[in-house]
């Protein structure tokens, strides 16, 4: 069944709504942007989530080009289960992170099939195949996700068959067809489940239902 990550969690109630909808991951952003949370805010979200749901969903901390020691410290202080690297971290950076990793792979427009394959394969070599996963999303200058911009649909045929999370422009109305066509391991959404800039529990529930109803790539 397709794995679902609800990213850009800003309030404890957002995380609990994702848990109630049976999302697999919730993402708290510590990289620059309007959804960025402080360590204290992140800790409050996790504490209130774990009071309701002790284990699932797993909590992902989203970081970009931050010192590895600082990332590891925030992971401990907040109670994060998995680290998402959304910057330009070099391959050797992975060994410094003590948690399982999601590595964001940003695809620009105009790439050839060979170029896409090279990017994905290089990213997979960066990761521990037993613990880590790639996240494929469109490149948007100066942004670390949550833009609502879609991955070029032509790219989805090329990356089909790889194990990856797909992000970019997903919402409750289109996620089913995207899962059917691209067969990702999982999908990642932020702005697509918001209303007026805040997470919408109804949209979260619809998104998770539609993503898991179709199924996609299965273990």
3-state secondary structure of 125: helix
Burial of 161 (0-12, 13-18, 19+ CB in 10 A): exposed
196 phi/psi in degrees, rounded to 5: 55, 40
* Nearest 10 degrees: Cα torsion 191, 47, 166, 122: 130
Q: Which of 19, 80, 59 is nearest to 208 (CA)?
A: 19
Q: Catalytic pick from 7, 14, 134, 188?
A: 7
Q: Catalytic pick from 24, 132, 134, 188?
A: 132
3-state secondary structure of 3: strand
Cα(1)–Cα(164) distance, rounded to whole angstroms? 13
Q: Is 132 a catalytic residue?
A: yes
3-state secondary structure of 89: coil
**Token pair of 56, please?**
């699932």
Q: Which of 99, 103, 56, 53 is nearest to 80 (CA)?
A: 99
Q: Is 196 a catalytic residue?
A: no
Q: What is the DSSP-derived secondary structure letter of residue 11?
A: S
Rounded to 10°, the helix 68-78/39-52 angle is 40
Alpha helices in 21-147 (DSSP H): 39-52, 68-78, 113-126
Mind telling me the catalytic residues? 7, 132
């Amino acid at each position: 069944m397709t794995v679902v990550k609800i990213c850009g969690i800003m309030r404890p109630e957002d995380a609990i709504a994702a848990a109630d909808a049976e999302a697999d991951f919730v993402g708290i952003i510590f990289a620059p942007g309007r959804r960025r949370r402080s360590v204290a805010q992140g800790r409050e979200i996790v504490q209130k989530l774990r009071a309701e749901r002790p284990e699932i969903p797993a909590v992902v901390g989203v970081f970009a080009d931050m010192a590895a020691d600082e990332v590891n410290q925030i992971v401990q202080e907040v109670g994060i289960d998995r680290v998402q690297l959304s910057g330009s971290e070099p391959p050797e950076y992975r060994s410094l992170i003590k948690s399982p990793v999601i590595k964001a792979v940003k695809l620009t427009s105009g790439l050839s099939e060979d170029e896409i394959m090279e990017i994905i394969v290089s990213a997979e070599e960066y990761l521990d195949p037993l613990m880590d996963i790639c996240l494929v999303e469109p490149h948007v200058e100066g942004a670390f996700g949550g833009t609502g911009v879609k991955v070029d649909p032509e790219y989805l045929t090329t990356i089909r068959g790889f194990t990856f999370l797909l992000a970019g422009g997903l919402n409750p109305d289109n996620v089913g067809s995207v899962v059917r066509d691209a067969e990702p391991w999982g999908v990642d959404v932020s702005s697509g489940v918001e209303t007026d800039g805040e997470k919408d529990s109804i949209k979260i529930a619809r998104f998770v239902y539609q993503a898991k109803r179709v199924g996609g790539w299965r273990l």
